[in-house]
Structure formats: structure tokens, C-alpha cells
Amino acid sequence: MTTNALASTIVIDTDKAPQFIDITERVVEHVKSSNVLEGIVVVYSMHTTAAIKINEYEPLLIQDMEDFLSKLASPDAYYRHNDFGIRTVNMGDDEPPNGHAHLQHLLMSTSETIPIANGDLQLGEWQRIFLLELDGTRPRKRRILISVVAYNYSK
């Protein structure tokens, strides 16, 4: 983890998809160490197949959300992005067949913004911040930026 007062990058290991990883405490720690009293914090995924979403951590609901994502874009459907016989652009050595993950990500968000008041993250009772892995074709390291915009610091 690289840290300065306001911005840091964390790296999260993922190993399946969909995978909801609760990163709320990492964001709370960062906001506390920033000494910002009033402001906002932006939690931002640097990826096109891993999203940031606020929702409730309840295991059965997470299964429901996983089913919902599979219905939106099934991993088993045909995607041109996965058709390596015709695709020529952005091809890596070990290109994953992850068309479904990109389409799911299209409807998710790359970042969430949370207000800070009196030094605390303003999350509702059931709100948790998730890194949402959508591409489970191999274990991955996901880079997440946590960036605080300060209106006012504590003394």
C-alpha cells in the first residue's frame, strides 16, 4: 500500500467471479488517517472488469446478486470479444475470454463517492463498499484507488 495524506492505492487479490469483497474497513482506515473532517472520498477501480459498488452484505442477497449478474450477461454466451479467431485489438499473451465480465461492468460502476462528516464516512446502516470481481477466468490482483477530497481538516 502506498500512502500519502489523501490518496492511496490498495491491491486486492480475487479468485472467482462474481466475487463481492467487502473493502469498507480499508476505506474507513484511510479516511481516519487523512485527518479530514469534512469532504468526500472516492473509491475507484482501475479495471474494466472489476467494479466498485455499495450494497448490503447479506450472504443470501449476495447469491441473488450473483445470479442477477449471470442473467444479465451469461459467461456461457457467445461474445465477439472472446472470439480470438476474429479479434485483433488489445490481445495479450494470455487473453482471458471475459466478454461477459465487460458487459456486466457496463451496468455496474467504476467508482463510488461517499461523503465524510465529522471525520466519519457517511454510510447508512446496511451500506458496505464492495470490490466486485466480474472476471473469474484466473486469480487477479486488482488495484483500487482511495482518494479523499478535503473541505476541512481536523486540527
Q: Point out which residues bind Zn ion (CB under 5 A).
A: 98
Q: Are 131 and 45 in contact (CB under 8 A)?
A: yes
The nearer residue to Zn ion, 34 or 98, going by C-beta atoms, is: 98
Radius of gyration, CA atoms only, the chain: 17
How far is Cα 21 from Cα 103, in angstroms, rounded to an integer? 20
Q: How far is the CB of 48 from Zn ion (least distance, A)?
A: 7
Q: How far is the CB of 97 from Zn ion (least distance, A)?
A: 8
Q: How far is the CB of 117 from Zn ion (least distance, A)?
A: 39
Q: Which residues are CB-contacts of 116 (< 8 A; sequence separation ≥ 6)?
A: 31, 36, 37, 38, 39, 40, 41, 122, 148
Q: How far is the CB of 78 from Zn ion (least distance, A)?
A: 15
The nearer residue to Zn ion, 19 or 98, going by C-beta atoms, is: 98
Strand partners, 147: 7, 42
The nearer residue to Zn ion, 72 or 117, going by C-beta atoms, is: 72
The nearer residue to Zn ion, 32 or 138, going by C-beta atoms, is: 138
Which residue, 104, 98, 101, is CA-closest to 81?
A: 98
C-beta nearest to Zn ion: residue: 98
